[in-house]
């Protein structure tokens, strides 16, 4: 039952009058306080349900100092990985009965206006995924007691962070390609603004560029399918003796674009050029791509991120923490591999 148009909103005061008890008793009963008898609690809960009572979140915030809201800050994300990450965040948060207020930060680092919005809505803490955080905005949150946790981002001052070990992921893929006999690598990266991509590229080149194997091609694909496709076209146009025999794309969506371009121009994957990616997005498993990739431990990253945030909401003086989690190679058919599979030892 809900309030009819024009009918005064049911409040904790009107509920207390109906029940013949104090507002404090009603409040404690609705929170499940064990000091309230089961019979009284059941009676008050029934009255609240019949009246369509909804708690006043702002009033609760003022009385308890907590809103029960977590600010979830998103930036523009063309990489499908972030949709996968967001889905897992929502699933785990729902299981914990946590509620998000989503704020879109736009392109570039999160600045003062976004930080001010978080403070205006009195969020208890802030999670950041596809956006980045300016040092000034991080300082604003810290000075106002709003803990920040970044998932799939590198750490910043005044913020905790959880991410996959991106450098090790890149190195694992490099060792896998070297084991398959590849000696000329191309790297399809996502620009200087992507800290994750930079770490993946660093790990890859350190593990690949040795013993006669080397990186011969780099292309800024901007972490979009179209960028990968353009890179694939550029590679096919190269003389065969200069062309890389394998490609490392720092995200699956880039690698998928490159694969389509390579095939459209008459070359074969993996017979002519092997392609590996990163992220293990669902579309990459489709038979048309079957891209060998590095799976990030998304569920574990989200679980650890939510735990870090909850701990800092409960104890604001806890120090910031940076957590690296290990992922794993998922071998499919887009890259040639050694007869026995596996990686080359360092």
Domain 166-296 has CATH 3.40.50.2300: yes
Partners of 247 in beta bridges: 186, 275
Amino acid 57: pLDDT: 53
Distance CA 284, CA 280 (A): 7
Per-residue DSSP letter, 223: T
Instruction: Name the CA radius of gyration of the chain, rounded.
Output: 26
Widest CA span in the chain = 88
Domain map (residue ranges) of the chain? 12-55, 69-165+298-326, 166-296
The CATH H-level superfamily of 69-165+298-326 is Response regulator (3.40.50.2300)
Q: What is the pLDDT of residue 258?
A: 99
Quote the CA–CA distance of 148 and 138 in Å, as a whole number.
Answer: 8
Give me the pLDDT at residue 31, please: 73
Structure tokens, 198: 């930079």
Q: Please give the CATH number for the structural domain made up of 12-55.
A: 1.10.260.40
CA 245 to chain centre: 32
Single out the residue of 232, 208, 211, 228 nearest to residue 220, CA to CA: 228
DSSP H or E segment with residue 247: strand 246-249
Predicted pLDDT at 102: 85
Kind plus residue range of the DSSP H or E element containing 99: strand 99-104
Distance of CA 50 to the CA centre of its chain: 40
For residue 144, what pLDDT is reported? 85
CA distance 92 to 98: 9
CA atoms lying within 13 Å on the CB side of residue 191: 8
In this prediction the pTM is: 0.80
pLDDT at 344: 45
SS3 (DSSP) at 225: helix
Q: Average pLDDT of each block of 10 consecutive residues along the chain (346 residues)?
A: 54 85 85 85 85 61 63 81 92 89 72 74 86 73 88 86 97 98 97 86 98 96 94 97 98 98 98 98 98 98 97 93 97 90 50
pLDDT at 254: 97
12-55 and 69-165+298-326 agree in CATH topology: no
């Amino acid at each position: 039952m809900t309030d009819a148009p024009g009918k005064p909103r049911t409040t904790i005061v009107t509920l207390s009058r109906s029940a013949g008890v104090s507002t404090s008793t009603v409040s404690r009963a609705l929170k499940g306080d064990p000091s309230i008898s089961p019979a009284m609690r059941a009676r008050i809960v029934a009255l609240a349900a019949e009246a369509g009572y909804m708690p006043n979140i702002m009033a609760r915030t003022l009385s308890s100092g907590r809103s029960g809201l977590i600010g979830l800050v998103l930036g523009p994300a063309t990489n499908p990985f972030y949709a996968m990450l967001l889905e897992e965040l929502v699933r785990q948060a729902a299981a914990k009965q946590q509620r998000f207020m989503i704020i879109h930060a736009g392109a570039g680092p999160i600045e003062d206006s976004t930080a001010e919005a978080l403070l205006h809505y009195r969020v208890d803490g802030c999670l950041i995924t596809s956006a980045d955080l300016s040092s000034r905005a991080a300082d604003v949150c810290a000075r106002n007691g709003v803990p920040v946790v970044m998932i799939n981002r590198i750490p910043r001052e005044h913020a905790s962070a959880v991410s996959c070990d991106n450098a090790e992921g890149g190195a694992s893929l490099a060792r896998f390609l070297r084991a398959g006999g590849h000696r000329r690598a191309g790297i399809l990266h996502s620009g200087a603004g992507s800290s994750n991509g930079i770490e993946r590229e660093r790990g890859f080149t350190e593990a690949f560029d040795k013993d006669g194997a080397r990186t011969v091609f780099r292309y800024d694909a901007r972490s979009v399918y179209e960028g990968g496709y353009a890179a694939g076209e550029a590679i096919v146009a190269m003389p065969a003796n200069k062309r890389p025999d394998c490609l490392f794309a720092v995200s699956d969506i880039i690698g998928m674009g490159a694969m389509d371009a390579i095939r459209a121009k008459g070359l074969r994957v993996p017979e002519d050029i092997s392609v590996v990616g990163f992220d293990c997005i669902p579309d990459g498993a489709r038979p048309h791509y079957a891209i060998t990739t590095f799976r990030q431990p998304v569920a574990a990253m989200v679980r650890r991120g939510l735990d870090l945030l909850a701990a800092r909401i409960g104890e604001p003086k806890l120090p910031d923490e940076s957590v690296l989690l290990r992922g794993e190679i998922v071998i499919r058919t887009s890259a040639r591999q050694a007869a026995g599979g596996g990686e080359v030892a360092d």
